[in-house]
Amino acid sequence: MKDKTFGNEEVLKILEIDPWLSSHKSDIDLRMSRYREVKKALLGDGKTFNDFANGHHFFGFHKTQDGWYYREWAPAAEALYLIGDFNGWNRGSHPLEKKEGGVWEIFLPGTDSLQHGSLVKVNVHHNGVMRDRIPLYIKRVIQNKKTNDFSGMIWDPKEQFNWTDGDFKIDRNKPPFIYETHIGMAQEREGIGTYKEFEDNLLPRVKKLGYNTIQIMAIMEHPYYASFGYHVSNYFAASSWFGIPEELKSMINKAHEIGLTVLMDIVQSHAVKNISEGINEFDGTVQQFFHEGARGTHSTWDSKLFNYGKHEVIHFLLSNIKFWMEEYHFDGFRFDGVTSMIYNDHGLGTAFDSYDKYFSMNTDLDALTYLQFANELIREMRPDALSIAEDMSGMPGMCLPIEYGGIGFDYRLAMGMPDFWVKTLKMKDDDWDMSSMFHELSTTRYMEKRVGYVESHDQALVGDKTLIFRMADKEMYWNMNKSSQNLAIDRAIALHKMARLITISLGSEGYLNFMGNEFGHPEWIDFPREGNGWSFKHCRRQWNLADSEYLRYFDLNQFDIAMIHMMSGEGLMGGVPQPLDIDNLKKVISFRKDDHIFIFNFHPTDSYTEYELPIHEDSSWKVILDTDEQLFGGQGRISHDVTFESHKLKVNPEYTGITVYSPSRTGMLLKRVR
């Protein structure tokens, strides 16, 4: 949007929203000119990204009335041969013909020339080297359990899946309450969970908890289970670790049936470097998809990095987005590793404390342009769809519309929040800074929507610690029974609830929780590997803990249910919190949102029998939720029956306010009743 001029120059809306960007106007202009130029080169006149992103409809295997077409894009290859069990893995009997633009094609006459379930690969020749590769657009990949070798599989069931979710739409006026999940570890037994188990067991649980969105990790095929799905090998194949494609479709269909939005954790920031299983050097060259040299390798992740300036790569990745929305009815995406994409140094060790850090030679304009295209495509396909950026840098405009000069995401993960909690828990309770807490949890860029959270899967992985484990440590193994008395556990339970309530309430437009963390799951996540004897003991979720009424896990679970339903039902997400009292000595934070007041007393020992709160109006208030309720494992010190009438305050008689009892280590929510 351009609606002001300086001289003869039109000014993008982003510069009006954030005046601090005025010194970087040329950078924003460059961002938008690159967007327009590349879009024009890709689409020409009159076409959309929805018209463009159809690689999956041309490449790969496609059955017609007369037989099967198989096509690949392999510009540097010298020869391609289709191999599989259909031809006895003969590496010379089925050559592909080279067409224009690096495209290769073969037609197999007869609809039965390839059967459902047939195993296939393609033998690629380049510079005297022959390699058996998995087709780039294959929809299913399976592993031979004896040889550990992966092969593509023709997936053509006689009956197509019957979708019944045609009426499902996301209400974009409602905030997303996101339950981050992993199919394989969502079950209680020691082993790999399935799509079917998730549909039967987890979807009803998520619905009961009150979350309206599930965000699913590790959907794209990945050869190493312990990568958590972040080393993707096959971009158009749903992970075979968890079942067959129809079972994933059934799971998503069921989620829509009960009103749950389904987001995919999409990994387009990097790819597994494996040659046998992945797309690396498919045509014999690294530059087919990735940058060459050091720029093409992520040294920390040990993976390959896409060249987003290459038109064919843009086509491949945009087609990938469209495929998952079209084939599996995903409602949007959480884009992994956005910070890594948009900076040449991947943001490693960079403190983004100046706008100059966002606009320099370190910024990858091609990646920013690609993300603009991705968001435009998503919106073309589904105006109600959601896109979330995992960006810790806070790139200006990340969540502004493209026409404003932004990148087009709906939300950004507020990655500084879990970092803040980790740093805070390393301090003594008496040293906690209330001003810093309010600032870190409430501050955002102009018009940016954030998904707030205390912890995600990152904090639950082995090598890190969940919030509750940082506080309770080994005491969790012995003293989570309600009959036990333990000060460390009491503290952990109280602060676990308070951290969640203040994080969800201080201005975030969305909220995220990783499955099991809501009830303080005691185990870290450790995938089966050689170092732990390939054990699944720590790669599951012990739901029985949350369901056992004699355990404190049950209490934490009950609080999370109440909190999510209250925040949703009272419409308390987002908005600008009005600070009423931030007292670093008393360790108190109080703030108001229209007809609601939140009061948090983080002091480890001091309770305030007459806590005076100025509200400057004649009104009445009642407590509607508090972390100290006995139902939630608290001491029940706060009454929900008392009505707090406004009056002249004792300490400051010129102010009108209310006087409440604020016990130590409690958070409460009051609602105006008059």
Nearest in space to 519 (alpha carbons), one of 491, 539, 548, 477: 548
Reading phi first (left if > 0) and then psi (alpha if -120 to 50, else beta), residue 421 is in alpha
Q: Give the list of residues 6+ apart from residue 297 with CB closer than 8 angstroms, or none.
A: 273, 303, 304, 305
Whether residue 613 contacts residue 599, with contact meaning beta carbons closer than 8 Å, is answered with yes
Catalytic residue among 180, 277, 331, 336: 336
Is 165 among the catalytic positions? Answer: no
Is 410 among the catalytic positions? Answer: no
User: Could you give the angle at which helices 311-328 and 245-257 cross, rounded to 10 degrees?
Assistant: 60
Catalytic residue among 390, 518, 555, 626: 390
Whether residue 333 contacts residue 317, with contact meaning beta carbons closer than 8 Å, is answered with no
The C-alpha atoms of residue 186 and residue 540 are separated, in whole angstroms, by 6
Tokens 């992740």 — which residue? 301
The C-alpha atoms of residue 529 and residue 499 are separated, in whole angstroms, by 33
Phi then psi for residue 549, to 5 deg, are -65, -20
The C-alpha atoms of residue 92 and residue 627 are separated, in whole angstroms, by 70
Q: What's the residue count for the chain?
A: 674
Helices assigned H by DSSP within 409-547 = 416-425, 434-442, 457-460, 467-472, 487-505, 543-547
The C-alpha atoms of residue 519 and residue 538 are separated, in whole angstroms, by 16
Distances (CA, A) of 569 to 211, 554, 672: 12, 22, 15
Whether residue 264 contacts residue 324, with contact meaning beta carbons closer than 8 Å, is answered with yes
Burial class (CB in 10 A: 0-12, 13-18, 19+), 285: middle
Nearest in space to 119 (alpha carbons), one of 161, 146, 92, 82: 82
Residues labelled catalytic = 336, 390
